[in-house]
Amino acid sequence: MTAQTPKDYAWLPQDIQDFIAKTAEAYPPDAVDFTIAEQRAYYDASCKNFDVPHPAGLRSEDLTIAGVPCRRYTPSAPRKGVTALYFHGGGYILGGLESHDSICAELSEGAQLELIAVDYRLAPEHKHPAAYEDCFAVAQAIAGPKILAGDSAGANLAASVSATRDDIIGQMLIYGSFGRDHTLPSYARHAFAPMLTLADMEFYGAMRFDRGMPARDVTAVPLDAEAFGDLPPTVLFSAEADPLASDSVEYAARLAEAGVPVELTEEPGMVHGYLRARHMSEGARASFARMIKALEGLAAQDGDQ
């Protein structure tokens, strides 16, 4: 399969091209060539460019859970008994409570779910399994039924925590990395995609692990699980122009084969990180609405049990 080069992405919708350009204003395409501190500064500045005010009626507070900094979002009319946990993206080295603040706020209010964002430790200062351990600890400390959600690196962490706990009632995974096979179709076709390239992914992987990716470790690679039948109902979203898209296909297939309820939506014309485009792209806006409905559906299962 022939890889598309950056100039080949003129087929993307104009509003997504505008989103890519706006992202690049603060976060250069060659950001991985800079220091970690510089990358974080670029990333935070870029995220801030897409911030919007919290929905009216929603409250938020910072707190510490199991020793991990977190932010709790309480919507105007929260569904009782179910908590959503959100693990942010950023290649395991970027991001935090501020980078995904407005995303979490809108998910919480839209689905009317209490949502807790987890500020897990970042690499390279804290190598794997530090991020997983923080996410697991918060999930363990929260009583009652839980839904796990996350984007990119956060989707990986959510899937890994789901594989190692038995009190998760659902998971929503957004353009995540779940396996280790970089010969899958999307890796070849979209190796040079805007927003995320295969080289970027390899850089993040090198930062995440102390001595390279472990041989078999479900806490790092969700598709390393020996069985998938105990996983909760799952909703996946992937982006068409993203080297990670095939990971969602593979993960969804494993769940379906094991009899786990699973839905996968590959969003056409979308790129990695399109959550931030939800207020400037019709496609991203529609996908975000589907995510809110997915959270509502996963939460409703608790009342059916």
Tokens of 264: 């996968």
For the stretch 2-17, what's the b/e string if a residue is b when 16 or more beta carbons lie within 10 angstroms of its beta carbon? eebeeeebeebbeebb
272 annotated active-site: yes
Radius of gyration of the CA atoms of the chain, in A: 18
- Among residues 99, 119, 272, 287, the one annotated as catalytic is 272
Q: Are 86 and 79 in contact (CB under 8 A)?
A: no
186 annotated active-site: no
Q: Are 146 and 168 in contact (CB under 8 A)?
A: yes
Smallest CA-to-CA distance from 170 within 82, 237, 245 is with 82
- Among residues 152, 162, 177, 287, the one annotated as catalytic is 152
Backbone conformation region of residue 53, classed left if phi is above 0, alpha if psi is from -120 to 50, else beta: beta
151 annotated active-site: no
- Among residues 134, 200, 242, 247, the one annotated as catalytic is 242
The strand pairing partners of 259, in sequence order, are none
- Looking at residue 119, the DSSP 8-state letter turns out to be -
Smallest CA-to-CA distance from 173 within 264, 105, 287, 92 is with 264
Q: Which residues are part of the catalytic machinery? A: 152, 242, 272
